Structure 1
Amino acid sequence: MRIFLTFSIAFGLTFTVSTLLAQKSKTDTATHLQEVIIRPYFSPVSLQRATGSVGIADTTVLDKQPSTSLVSTLNTLSGVRMEERSPGSYRLSIRGSLLRSPFGVRNVKIYFDDFPLTDAGGNSYLNALDVSGTTALQVLKGPQSSIFGANSGGVVLVQPTGSTGFGQPGQPGSTLAQFSAEGGSYGTFRESAFLNQQYRRYRFNITQAYQRSDGYREHSAMDRKYLQTFQQFDYATNASLKALLFYSDLHYNTPGGLTAAQFTANPQASRPSTPATRSAIEQRAGIYSKTFYAGLSNNWAISEHFRHVLSVYGSYTDFKNPFITNYEHRMETTLGLRSYLEYALQTTNARWKVNAGLESMTTGTGFNNYDNNFGTPAAVQATDKLHADASFGFLQLTADLYDKLLIELSASLNLYGYDYKSTAPVAIARKTVAFDTQLMPRAAVSYLISNAFSLRASASKGYSPPTLAEVRASNNVINTSLQPEYGWSYETGFRLQTMDGRFFADLNGFHYQLRDAIVRRLDQADREYFINAGGTSQWGLETGMSYQLLPLRGQGIVRGFLLRNAYTLSRFRFGDYVSGNNDYSGNALTGVPRTVVVSSAELQLPHAVYVFFQHNYTSSIPLNDANSVYARKYHLLQARIGWKNLRIGTTTLELFAGGDNLLNQTYSLGNDLNAVGNRYFNAAAKRNFYGGLAVKFRK
């Protein structure tokens, strides 16, 4: 630990000294780090002036990471942690909140372009997406309930392949086609293809992907078929229409958690049988999920000052989960819309914008649980229908004064409730649960002291009601006493970018006081349920740095050398938290490593050859609320080498090869928190390799 803290400090000092030297020398004016333009809160703004803490993963990051998942990509961002219990089984948290996530995504809102991927029931099927359908991600850290509705963790904005990006103009061109294929350890194979066509005012993109893996552990195979299309039609000089559709057919086996002894003896093993339960293999435990999603959005510039955006969307998911103790089948249908009106005014020394709108959606879910008879549904255990409605109206004022001071004031009024009825094992007539209407404000400011240095601060309130999967968890009990979690977050930070663009640093400190935190529990039959656990106190520090140590150039053996570093310090504690006879007050927050350091180096060589190295240090992780069991710290080292821009006429070829976990660490990337029977551990793959090629054709 001490070594890596020393490394991080030394890395920062190296940046500082090198920056001072660079400011004195202007001999090299080759291409440097490009200014990043983002659009987190309606208005395009440079990252340097953003009022909040924003993590960016664009193609420069995605292209250097394994394309089989977004895990390693998102884990390059400070304050963000994505876990993988087995191929296809992911969990995502922002600033440490994994308490609610047995799998998937909770208390984080996800948008796919203009369309919410998170349904009214609070679930987000992020694992339905394929990496090939994504060209960039923006992660807004901390609660963003003011204009994005109920969330207590943050928001992820996903840019689909073929879209124009976050406030960026579309690229001219007629035809672009790409095909890629790669294979690797543990039977991994992946191929993807896309076609992008530009016809004057109409742009069309279609993306296809297939992926499969045998997995590192027993009973951890996965496969996914994916198809996506994004289309945009500028049907008038002041109006455009775009459509997004995707279909995902995902299956993965779930090997189950192991005890510490089992994990040490054979980390590749799946969960064995006991005198009371069958094994994961015998029960054919796994996930079968088919999702269809469609959205249509119209953008109309009514006049010089007014703009209106209207988005409608819908989705259907057929979800099956044979588990050790039951077989769950649920069908989910979502319909929704998001609309806002923008007024913009520019005066001599100021730009003003007002955005007012609403988002409303409804999700109906049919829960059906059966006995699991060796992977086949048998006798009915429970049958319920739940219906969730989530709506909010929002208002935001943005003032940009003298191109120096940026002020954002926003608020939303949130309405959330659900109803339910049961037919088995006992019939229950329809009942309704409505939560109190919540006002969620946010105030944020950034000030550009110079072109190289900016300060920022914000205060925001977060709010996240229980999801339908938490209200009606796998214990088949509808828990109407479960309440939303909420709290205030305060943060401040600065950004520094040198005038030559070679060095960028982002530092952010925050304090989040969360109330009525929702925590996962397991009963003696290994079925989950959720409770409110009092509050948490979350102090954190996040830094991100990049330095073009050697600027890009066209001569020499070394053509460029880029360093990146992300540091996360999380001092997250339970507040007053008593469960039965146990007092967990003051304990470290379950599932949160105190320290994470991710560092990378990218070397550019002649003939468009590149070499990339990345190291991830993650400190020990408490696995239960009592803090009596910890996952050990680990070091992950990955590398990739590639040869780009091999040209045959108008066709460009890239060859690449890489390796992950090169130090051959035995570790668990996705732990089962508060696990019954001490089955906490889900082993990640040992040392593994991959290689492939990508072919681009442009006309």
Structure 2
Amino acid sequence: MIKAIYYYTILLLISVLLPVTLQAQELRGRVLNAQTQQPLQGVTVSVEGKAYTLTGEDGYFEAALTRVNAPVILSYVGFATDTIFWSEAYDGSIIEVLLRSRGAVLQEVQVRGYETNRPLLQTAGAISLIEREVITRFDESSIVRAVNTVPGVRMEERAPASYRLSIRGSSLRSPYGIRNVKLYYDGIPFTEANGTTALNLLDAANIGRIEVLKGPTASIYGAGTGGAVLLEPRRAAPGESFLELGTTVGSYGLMRNTATIGIGAENSSILVQYTRQKYDGYRQQSAIDRDVLLISSQFRPSDKRTISANLIYSNLYYELPGGLTQEQFEQNPRQARGGQFGSVAQNASLDLEGINVGLKQAYRFNDSFRNTTAVYGLHKFKDNPFNTDYERNANQEFGGRTSFVLDANLGSIASTFTLGGEFQRGFEVARTYDNNGGTTGALRTDDEVVSKAGFLFAQAEFELPADIIATAALSLNDTRYEITRLQQVATRNYTYKRNFDAVLSPRIALLKQLTDKISIHASVSSGFSPPTEEEILTSDGQLNEDLEAEKGTNYEVGIRGFMLADRLSFDVVGFYFKLNETIVSRQDVSSVAVFRNVGSTDQKGIETSIGYTIVDKPAEPISLLKVWGSYTYSHFRFEEYQQNEDNYSGNELTGVAPHAATAGLDLSTRLGLYLNLTATYVDEIPLNDQNSIYAASYLVAGARLGVKRQLGTHFGLEVFGGVDNATDEKYSLGNDLNAFGGRYFQAAPDRNYYGGVMLKYTL
């Protein structure tokens, strides 16, 4: 199979790099600002990815073309890249091209959320976008800082690469890892059948764009009360063929190298990327060593069919320093958990190797009927010495998703009907041992786990009079586990089966477009979130047979749009979420997380984001200057919570800050110099259900300064440097909630620096 892929790739490269040659012809054009109709000087014009020219003072350019449909790419700082194609009918006249500023383009950006594929202004739901420009404004060794620019979302690192993702407080049941949130990569399930997501198998450089859907989205994306995250892979643009090499070095032994090859044609695109990252760590026992290989491709063999294929191979090792008490945290935040079962003594760490292969086809039968089908396979191996035990797992999984979409007219009402389903099956061999100083001791448990998750979904959209879009959706969700215990000390062997009853999850939404730049929306949706395998079968091998699925209903209203000649963008959402059978986690005496249903929670909140473009004049010395910010207010409470003799009803929800805000400034110049400033504030956070101890509030700031220059016709160079936690705050990022022995705190790095260089050669 590997040889077949190798030869297929070679043939693809030959077909792309050896086009049919024709007699050269001059393409003459002029580039204008779509908003002001003024000429743009200095626009980069790429012809078939092989030659570059720049527009002159009046926006004119000339380019030599050698074949029909030759792609010509026009790009400029602060503007959306555009691609035009030369046809045989071209008569040599001047072609006028209008480039749109990024602020204006946001009005027309298509989102995948709820499979509507509509502009964001026509999508009824709380959706936040994280574009590639946001990811690269930070150090790409971690995606945490980029995700935390989004209101209502909090991403944490208990240790480097030990991610935890919370959408509207969903980290309550996530002492580690990502749960209660469904992730997709290129429309293919990335969350496994057992409900867990190994996001650390991806590198930030593998991601082209992120869409975050907040609140229950079960109508389209299956079981989940936290939300859904849609990840788009990086791909080469049409006509773009390049080789890109990058190196970043930083404090505490950070060393990161990337190599990317991209080849894009009119009907095909392939990107191969390898990333290697090493980091000694700010704390004891917090090093990381990760290799990631991504192959992302897309082919269009006909006007009706588009095929995408992705392969991700990752080999990840990272150490776990463990939680500190408040006294230890204040005394020396860089220390690891000590004692007989300390992290260094037990080599607490995780070695994870995995390969994920996905294949997707989008087929259009005619102008009104289309289908998208995806299949994937996953192999993963985990070796995890922990402070009090040693876990070794091997996992194999396959699954698929399909959806049919019909566009129709019901009288004068344009309608879209979607029907589909998704199925996943995972098989895992899970063994736990005694941990003897970082080596396996006596076998404790030996289990075989079969996880099955699936759902059917249907959705109908209606474009009603008065610019109203109505959506009604429904899904039927089913989750099953079968655990066969082959060995357990002092206990009989047995098979445990758990089938969470199929649950209907509806969603109803309305959107009213007030103007072509402002819309309001409202929705009601219900969610169903069964326990993950790790919540039923804990890391010490104990079975939690009484755990029930969470169920909740979410109500929300919002307004988004653009004002002041598209310079001001805004998005405001208010929501009320009632969750029953809430699952919470706490640690037992051995530091193993255990899970319980505790009644219900009451969650009210406001999420806001705003941006203002002060300067947008590409021909001026300062070509772009904009400010932006986001703010989240969370009034989250336990409504009913009785634990033995203690009543926690009315207490603040554990792990959720009442107030959080992020603000930034972006500046670019005509000469390629840029500056990104970011500041984040997080209010104090309750660390236990009793609300007896809090993590202190903190304000951290960071900056990145760099320059991007084109060196001749083929080479592009970027040199950059940055600082994180410039305020040198002592804070915890990834607190251990309800930790036994008061070990709540996972210290984040103090002030640290990084710098790097990126060299791009266009073929």
Q: Report the alpha carbon displacement of residue 349 of structure 1 after superposing the two structures with TM.
A: 5.6
| Equivalent residues of 1:307, 1:341 under 8 A apart | yes
Aligned to 2:7: none
| Equivalent residues of 1:350, 1:403 under 8 A apart | no
Q: Residues of 2 paired with 1:474 and 1:203: CA distance? A: 42
Find 1:544's aligned residue among 609, 615, 621: 609
Find 1:572's aligned residue among 626, 630, 636: 636
| Equivalent residues of 1:32, 1:501 under 8 A apart | no
Matches for 1:461-472 after TM superposition, within 5 Å: 461-472=526-537
- Residue 337 of structure 1 pairs with residue 410 of structure 2: no
Q: Residues of 1 paired with 2:453 and 2:210: CA distance? A: 25
- Residue 299 of structure 1 pairs with residue 362 of structure 2: yes
Q: Residues of 1 paired with 2:357 and 2:517: CA distance? A: 42
Aligned to 2:541: 476
Aligned to 2:57: none
Q: Higher mean Cα deviation, 218-227 or 345-354?
A: 345-354
- Residue 89 of structure 1 pairs with residue 162 of structure 2: yes
Q: Deviations over 1:279-322 (max 9, x none)?
A: 21010000111111011112111122211111111111101110
Q: Higher mean Cα deviation, 498-507 or 386-395?
A: 498-507
- Residue 459 of structure 1 pairs with residue 517 of structure 2: no
Aligned to 2:141: 68
Aligned to 2:239: 173
Q: Residues of 1 paired with 2:624 and 2:294: CA distance? A: 35
| Equivalent residues of 1:32, 1:548 under 8 A apart | no
AA matched with 1:241: I
Q: Residues of 2 paired with 1:347 and 1:173: CA distance? A: 41
AA matched with 2:570: A
Q: Report the alpha carbon displacement of residue 474 of structure 1 after superposing the two structures with TM.
A: 2.1
Matches for 1:565-604 after TM superposition, within 5 Å: 565-604=629-668
Q: Report the alpha carbon displacement of residue 28 of structure 1 after superposing the two structures with TM.
A: 9.0
AA matched with 1:428: N
SS across alignment from 1:99: helix
Aligned to 1:524: 589
- Residue 445 of structure 1 pairs with residue 518 of structure 2: no
Q: Deviations over 1:49-90 (max 9, x none)?
A: 220011110022112111011100000000000001111111
Find 2:674's aligned residue among 595, 606, 610: 610
Q: Residues of 1 paired with 2:366 and 2:416: CA distance? A: 14
Q: Residues of 2 paired with 1:571 and 1:395: CA distance? A: 33
AA matched with 1:300: Y
Aligned to 1:375: 438
SS across alignment from 2:220: helix
AA matched with 1:545: I
Q: Report the alpha carbon displacement of residue 39 of structure 1 after superposing the two structures with TM.
A: 1.9
Q: Deviations over 1:580-619 (max 9, x none)?
A: 1211111100000110010001122341111111110000
Q: Report the alpha carbon displacement of residue 194 of structure 1 after superposing the two structures with TM.
A: 1.4
Q: Residues of 2 paired with 1:293 and 1:415: CA distance? A: 24
| Equivalent residues of 1:614, 1:639 under 8 A apart | yes
Aligned to 1:126: 199
Q: Deviations over 1:103-125 (max 9, x none)?
A: 11000000001210011100100
Aligned to 2:310: 244
| Equivalent residues of 2:432, 2:540 under 8 A apart | no
| Equivalent residues of 2:238, 2:269 under 8 A apart | no
Q: Report the alpha carbon displacement of residue 237 of structure 1 after superposing the two structures with TM.
A: 2.3
Q: Residues of 1 paired with 2:325 and 2:133: CA distance? A: 39
Aligned to 2:482: 419
Q: Residues of 2 paired with 1:550 and 1:200: CA distance? A: 34
AA matched with 2:502: T
- Residue 667 of structure 1 pairs with residue 731 of structure 2: yes
Matches for 1:94-493 after TM superposition, within 5 Å: 94-162=167-235, 171-273=237-339, 277-345=340-408, 350-401=413-464, 404-425=467-488, 426-493=491-558
SS across alignment from 2:756: strand
| Equivalent residues of 1:370, 1:379 under 8 A apart | yes
| Equivalent residues of 1:552, 1:561 under 8 A apart | no
AA matched with 1:75: N
Q: Deviations over 1:376-397 (max 9, x none)?
A: 1010111122211111000011
- Residue 504 of structure 1 pairs with residue 569 of structure 2: yes
| Equivalent residues of 2:374, 2:402 under 8 A apart | yes
AA matched with 2:455: F
Q: Report the alpha carbon displacement of residue 645 of structure 1 after superposing the two structures with TM.
A: 2.5
Q: Report the alpha carbon displacement of residue 575 of structure 1 after superposing the two structures with TM.
A: 1.2
Q: Residues of 2 paired with 1:32 and 1:369: CA distance? A: 52
| Equivalent residues of 1:451, 1:499 under 8 A apart | no
Q: Higher mean Cα deviation, 399-408 or 498-507?
A: 399-408
Q: Residues of 1 paired with 2:673 and 2:178: CA distance? A: 37
Q: Report the alpha carbon displacement of residue 348 of structure 1 after superposing the two structures with TM.
A: 8.8
Aligned to 1:78: 151
Q: Residues of 2 paired with 1:78 and 1:471: CA distance? A: 31
- Summarize the Cα distance change of 1:402–1:698 in structure 2 as closer, same or farther, 3 Å threshold: farther
Q: Residues of 1 paired with 2:272 and 2:493: CA distance? A: 46
Matches for 1:624-639 after TM superposition, within 5 Å: 624-639=688-703
Q: Residues of 2 paired with 1:354 and 1:577: CA distance? A: 42
Q: Residues of 1 paired with 2:524 and 2:155: CA distance? A: 26
| Equivalent residues of 1:474, 1:529 under 8 A apart | no
| Equivalent residues of 1:359, 1:392 under 8 A apart | yes
Q: Report the alpha carbon displacement of residue 676 of structure 1 after superposing the two structures with TM.
A: 0.5
Aligned to 2:743: 679
TM normalised by structure 1 equals 0.93
- Summarize the Cα distance change of 1:526–1:547 in structure 2 as closer, same or farther, 3 Å threshold: same
Structure 1 or 2, whichever has the larger Rg, is: 2
- Summarize the Cα distance change of 1:472–1:399 in structure 2 as closer, same or farther, 3 Å threshold: same
Higher relative contact order (CA 8 A, sep 6+): 1
Aligned to 1:48: 121
AA matched with 1:665: E
- Summarize the Cα distance change of 1:32–1:334 in structure 2 as closer, same or farther, 3 Å threshold: closer
How many residues get paired?
664
Aligned to 2:620: 555
Q: Residues of 2 paired with 1:580 and 1:524: CA distance? A: 18
SS across alignment from 1:611: strand
| Equivalent residues of 2:238, 2:268 under 8 A apart | no
Q: Residues of 2 paired with 1:55 and 1:107: CA distance? A: 18
Q: Higher mean Cα deviation, 495-504 or 632-641?
A: 495-504
Q: Residues of 2 paired with 1:605 and 1:231: CA distance? A: 34
Aligned to 2:44: none
Q: Note the residue ranges of structure 2 that are not aligned, 5 or more in a row.
A: 1-34, 40-99
Q: Residues of 2 paired with 1:57 and 1:486: CA distance? A: 28
Q: Residues of 2 paired with 1:177 and 1:445: CA distance? A: 46
SS across alignment from 1:288: strand
| Equivalent residues of 2:116, 2:123 under 8 A apart | no
Q: Report the alpha carbon displacement of residue 347 of structure 1 after superposing the two structures with TM.
A: 7.7
SS across alignment from 2:171: coil
TM normalised by structure 2 equals 0.85
Q: Residues of 2 paired with 1:389 and 1:347: CA distance? A: 38
| CA RMSD between the two structures | 1.7
| Equivalent residues of 1:394, 1:412 under 8 A apart | yes
Q: Higher mean Cα deviation, 307-316 or 76-85?
A: 307-316
SS across alignment from 1:236: coil
Aligned to 1:20: none
Greater than 6 Å deviation, 4+ residue runs:
25-30
Q: Report the alpha carbon displacement of residue 278 of structure 1 after superposing the two structures with TM.
A: 2.4
| Equivalent residues of 2:238, 2:265 under 8 A apart | no
AA matched with 1:102: P
